[in-house]
Amino acid sequence: MRLFEKLVNKEEKIAVIGLGYVGMPIAVAFAKKVNVIGFDLNTKKIEQYKDGIDPTNEVGDEAIRQTTVDFTADETKLQEAKFHIVAVPTPVNADKTPNLDPIEGVSKTIGKNLTRGSIVVYESTVYPGVTEDICIPILERESGLKCGEDFKVGYSPERINPGDKVHRLENITKIVSGLDKESLEEIAKVYELVVEVGVHRAGSIKVAEAAKVVENSQRDINIAFMNELAMVFDRMGIDTQEVVEAMNTKWNALKFTPGLVGGHCIGVDPYYFIYEAEKLGYHSQIILSGRKINDGMGAFVGDAIIKKLILANKVVKKAKVVILGLTFKENTPDTRNSKVDDIIKRLNEYEIEPIVVDPYADPVEAKHEYGVDLVPFDMINDADCLVFSVAHDLFRDMTIDQMNGMFGELPNKEKVIVDVKSILDKNEIEKNGYSYWRL
């Protein structure tokens, strides 16, 4: 009997390794069809899941309470599974080179607990060649088994968009690949259990790996183009958003907008591609240039804040700047690689210690990752400048009266509003006489 059939008949189990914003929704989805083990080294996270708490807000507490996933931090439980899905992070080092420590570490863990007849599928973003050249040798060494004979390997890049309630695992086409035709078909059938719109069978593991880094590099480049336009239009005194609105009336406009580019994918994946290209003697021009532009946007916004404070006759060092939003994108608690931190660092250069408000973010993570002590909304009452850095719905819905309450007793012309995400009504803000700037 094939592994797929044994999984469906609940004679074998799937193990999902890495239960973050990607792995946990995958585990919950598969658990509706087959028996699933959910493994993560973070014991605190495992306890939260066992208590019915979803710290990611991806599926919600109710779904966690109802799921049959066997959450564990005990790696020996992996021996009970035959189909392993790897969803650990693949960050970059300080010098922007790939940090493969997590994926190498998890390969060792799986290898030590791998049994004959298993399939291991990597979902973590890597440059082409990592699965076959780095992961497989580790699996073989740790298990004493031979890949292709005793176990198979595949690659299926994650495409989950944290915080997105429309584009979900079920309705995003899944790229799948395998070491050979047999493993490809087996992997495809397993994923088709939960991906309603179907899968795309890539010709090889390297093709699937490349597709992941390229699709995010493409978005990165397009956003970099808009960011460069925003910097130029700022010097010209032209409102970028008005230009974008006019441009988007054309049928083939791509509808990208300027902004901060962080997170675990778009702000990271291009560096994996650049790294491998340079190893082969090719120095990236377009992709690297896009990365440099996007990595510089936090500083650009920080300088814009300083300029608006000066024009509003503020003493810069004494100005009380409140940043609304720390997560890397709206309506999610995910703070990984948040470029809001670049704004904070730029303001620090001017001896400004901004106050940061974000009810979505985890205060412990904010302190650990960025040294930021999050402040509750109701403690803000005498700000000189409000910086809307993340487009949380809570911030989008703020009224003029709520903003005034955060400013306190100031003439409107001295109230500075910096709208990084262009979520406010420009006409209303300017009608009330505020000093307003948007990216």
Sorted by where each begins, the domain ranges of the chain are 3-203, 211-292
Candidates 25, 365, 33, 31; CA nearest to 161 is 25
Q: For domain 3-203, which CATH number applies: 3.40.50.2000, 3.40.50.720, 3.20.20.140, 1.10.1240.10?
A: 3.40.50.720
> In sequence order, what are the beta bridge partners of 355?
322
Q: What percent of the chain has pLDDT over 90?
A: 79
Task: Give the pLDDT band of residue 166 (cuts 50, 70, 90).
Answer: low
What confidence tier does 164 reach under pLDDT thresholds 50, 70, 90?
low
The answer regarding whether domain 211-292 maps to CATH 1.20.120.420 reads no
The residue type of 148 is: G
Q: Give the DSSP H/E element, type plus range, for residue 127.
A: none
Active-site annotation holder among 135, 147, 265, 385 = 265
Q: d(Cα 362, Cα 140) in Å, to the nearest integer?
A: 39
The pLDDT of residue 63 is: 93
Give the mean pLDDT of 3-31. 94
- For residue 147, indicate whether it is catalytic: no
Residue type, 179: L
In degrees, to the nearest 5, what angle opens at C-alpha 184 toward C-alphas 178 and 189? 135
Burial 378-394, CB ≥16 within 10 A → b, else e: eebeebbbbbbbbbbeb
If you count them, how many residues does the chain have?
Answer: 439
User: Does 163 score more than 70 pLDDT?
Assistant: no
If one compares 83 and 22, the residue with the highest pLDDT of the two is 83
Digit-coded pLDDT (tens) for 263-307 = 778 888 889 889 989 988 999 899 999 999 999 999 999 999 999
Q: What is the pLDDT of residue 2?
A: 86
pLDDT of residue 167 exceeding 70, the answer is no
3-203 and 211-292 share one fold = no
State the number of CA atoms in the 13 A half-sphere of 425 facing the CB: 10
Q: Yes or no: say if 34 and 68 are a contact pair by the CB < 8 Å rule.
A: no
Span 26-46, pLDDT tens digits:
999 999 999 999 999 999 999
Under the banding of pLDDT at 50, 70 and 90, the label for residue 57 is confident
pLDDT on residue 1: 53
Which pLDDT band, with edges at 50, 70 and 90, does 203 fall under? very high
